[in-house]
Amino acid sequence: MLSLRIIHQVGAARRGVLTTPHGAVDTPAFMPVGTAGAIKGVTPVQVRATGTQILLANTYHLSLRPTADVVAKLGGLHRFMGWDGPILTDSGGYQVFSLASINRVTDDGVDFQSHIDGARLRLDPRIATDIQEKLGADIIMAFDQCPALPCDAEAMRVAVDRTIRWAAECKRVHSRRDQALFGIVQGGLDLSERDRCARAIVDIGFDGYAIGGLSVGESHDEMAAILGPTAALLPADRPRYLMGVGMPRDILAAVRAGVDLFDCVLPTRNGRNSFAFTHSGPLRMRNERHAGDDRPVEEDCDCETCQRFSRGYIRHMFNAEEMLGPTLTSIHNLRFYQRFMARLREAIAAGRLDEIEREYPIAGAPVAGTGTE
């Protein structure tokens, strides 16, 4: 039900087409994050117009509300969200890291205290897989432990052991043949642990493979040093997914290492915080300098925001606390990411990937102050 066809390859970088039950995805591809079943502030029609082909939703959040049973009763995640394209669901493993203050991890699974009402939620390989099968996404993820960085050697070894054991259990209980199941490679910045985990996950055998445990506190250079050796351990005929990484220069480094799929909250989270991505760097749309500016956010952008609205208008929307400000900036940011990914695909096909940093200076330098939720 899922296949990857590689069309062009330059070094490790590859351009392909990922086929799923709900349509094809051109790779490398970026997945906007609809944590609770929605891309915040943007309708599915608007998301589709940005060039987006695949979305991500989250097991932990959807299991709390409205629950997987309710989503299944309402026709599954595609019908529930009003999105007829491919969907990937995260297993909740990232919340083991991001909600560490309200969970307890053991060898058998993770007990959460709901961030909504304090109720107990249990996730383990069987439960996480069952929830994702009820949600009905095209691609589901094995349950894993994502440790924070820095992490001492013993704690990392334990996390990798659990990730391998839990992956095998997810594979054993997975029953929906119309869903692809991806295994996840953990190991932090320890190349020996990455190697050990990757070889074990590949031996178990999955429809695709993810690199987890990055963008959790390490530098760009530290991430880049891990990506090449880890991606090289993963089967060339299966999709490779770098989880939760979204800064343009990090995406470029991962594409050069042979990664196919990406997700991150940055386009919409930053959009809600008046932060707009452009080729040359970020714009703060609340800034006074935009007050009388009739230009679009980005001159050559074809998104609805840039075609119809000025920087001055968007600034006014934020200052007037109108919802349209975050929506317009999020639409532009989503389109920026999809244009960036399309340009990466074109560059791979032409054998000119080295030109990207000249065309996108933002992909060659760190971006400070990216905003928070």
Inform me whether the pLDDT recorded for 372 exceeds 60: no
Q: What is the mean pLDDT of the chain?
A: 96
> What's the one-letter identity of residue 30?
F
Q: What mean pLDDT comes out for the span 306-312?
A: 98
Q: What mean pLDDT comes out for the span 46-67?
A: 97
| CATH homologous superfamily for the domain 26-264 | Queuine tRNA-ribosyltransferase-like (3.20.20.105)
Sign of the Cα torsion 58, 64, 66, 68 reads positive
Q: Per-residue pLDDT tens for 69-99?
A: 999 999 999 999 999 999 999 999 999 889 9
CB count within 10 Å of CB 353 equals 20
Q: What mean pLDDT comes out for the span 168-178?
A: 97
Q: What mean pLDDT comes out for the span 101-122?
A: 93
Q: Per-residue pLDDT tens for 124-160?
A: 999 999 999 999 999 999 999 999 999 999 999 999 9
Residues acting as catalytic residues = 90, 263
CA distance 267 to 122: 31
| DSSP letters for 335-350 | HHHHHHHHHHHHHHHH
Among 187, 183, 247, smallest CA distance to 215 is for: 247
pLDDT, position 105: 94
Q: What phi, psi does 310 have (nearest 5°)? A: -95, 165
CA distance 333 to 277: 6
Query: For the chain, what are the domain ranges?
Result: 26-264, 271-333+347-363
- pLDDT tier at 368, thresholds 50, 70, 90: low
CA atoms within 13 Å, Cβ hemisphere of 3: 4
Inform me whether the pLDDT recorded for 275 exceeds 60: yes
Inform me whether the pLDDT recorded for 370 exceeds 50: no
pLDDT, position 366: 78
Inform me whether the pLDDT recorded for 369 exceeds 60: no
pTM: 0.96
CA distance 283 to 336: 13
Which parts of the chain are beta strand (E)? Answer: 3-10, 13-20, 23-27, 29-32, 55-58, 87-90, 103-106, 109-113, 120-123, 139-141, 180-185, 208-211, 240-242, 261-264, 275-276, 283-284
